[in-house]
Amino acid sequence: MKPTQRFVAGAVCPQCNEQDALLIDSKDQSIECVDCGYTQSAEQRDTKKDESKQSKVSGAQKHKPENLINIKQIEE
**Are the C-beta atoms of 17 and 36 separated by less than 8 Å?**
no
pLDDT, mean of residues 10-22: 94
Break the chain into its structural domains and give their ranges.
5-64
Residue 40 has a pLDDT of 94
pLDDT reported for residue 56: 60
What tens digit of pLDDT does each residue of 20-70 get?
A: 999 999 999 999 999 999 999 988 877 876 666 666 655 555 555 555 555
DSSP state for residue 10 in the 8-state scheme:
T
The confidence score (pLDDT) of residue 33 equals: 95
How far is residue 42 from each of residues 14, 24, 45, measured CA to CA in Å?
Answer: 15, 10, 5
- What pTM value is reported for the model? 0.58
Given CA atoms 27, 33, 35, 37 in this order, what sign does their dihedral have?
negative
What is the 3-state composition of the chain as percent helix, strand, coil, each rounded to the nearest 5?
35, 20, 45
5-64 topology per CATH? N-terminal domain of TfIIb (2.20.25)
Entry field: residues in the chain: 76
pLDDT at site 46:
78
